[in-house]
Amino acid sequence: MEPEQLAFASEASAWLADNVPRRWVERRSSLVEEEVVQIRMDWDRRLYAGGWAGLSLPVEYGGRGLGLAEEVLFGELAARAHAPDGYGRIGRILTAPTLIARGTDWQRSRYLQKILSGTEFWCQGFSEPSAGSDLAAVKALARRVEGGYRVTGQKIWTSFAFHADKCLFLARTDETAPRYRNLTMLLMDMRQPGIEIRPIRQISGGSEFAEVFVDDAFVAEEDRLGAEGEGWSVAMTVLNSERGGVEAVSRYVEMRTDIDLLLGCCAKLADRIPEAEEFETRLELVRWQVRKAITREGDERAFTSATGVLKVFWSELWQEMTRMGLDSMCPVHRDHWNLAYLDSRATTIYAGSSEVQRNIIGDRILGLPR
Kindly tell me which of 178 and 369 has the beta carbon lying closer to another protein: 369
**Number of amino acids touching another protein (CB under 8 A):** 35
- C-beta of 157: minimal distance to another protein in Å? 23
Nearer to another protein, 268 or 282 (CB): 282
Q: Determine if 370 is a binding residue for another protein (CB under 8 A).
A: yes
Q: How far apart are CA 332 and CA 28, in angstroms?
A: 12
Give the one residue of 141, 269, 342, 361 binding another protein; rule: CB under 8 A.
Answer: 361
**Is the Cα dihedral 111, 112, 117, 121 positive or negative?**
positive
**Range 54-73, binding another protein (CB under 8 A):** 73
196 versus 355: smaller Cβ distance to another protein: 355
284: contact with another protein by CB under 8 A? yes
Q: Is 272 an interacting residue with respect to another protein (CB under 8 A)?
A: no
Helix (H) or strand (E) holding 168: strand 166-172
- Using the contact rule CB under 8 A, the part of the chain among 197-205, 210-218, 276-284, 340-348 near another protein is 276-284
Residue 3 sits in the site that holds another protein (CB under 8 A) = no
Facing residues of 217 across strands?
A: 151
Q: Is residue 295 a contact point for another protein (CB under 8 A)?
A: yes
Q: Could you tell me which residues are beta bridge partners of residue 32?
A: none
Near another protein by CB under 8 A: residue from 163, 268, 292, 345: 292
By C-beta, is 220 or 366 nearer to another protein? Answer: 366
Q: Count of CB atoms within 10 A of residue 242's CB?
A: 20
Closer residue to another protein in complex, CB, 166/251: 251
Task: Based on the shown chain and the rule CB under 8 A, indicate whether residue 11 belongs to the binding site for another protein.
Answer: no
Instruction: Give CA–CA dist 257/107, Å, rounded.
Output: 36
3-state helix, strand, coil in the chain (%, to 5): 55, 15, 30
Give me the active site residues, please: 242
**How deeply is 208 buried, as exposed, middle or buried, from its count of CB atoms within 10 A (0-12, 13-18, 19+)?**
buried
Pairing of strands 122-125, 166-172: parallel
Phi, psi dihedral angles at 161 (to 5 degrees) = -60, -35
Residue 311 contacts residue 243 (beta carbons within 8 Å):
yes
Under the rule (CB under 8 A), what is the footprint of another protein?
1, 5, 9, 73, 76, 277-278, 281-282, 284-285, 288-289, 291-292, 294-295, 305-306, 309, 312-313, 355, 357-359, 361-363, 365-370
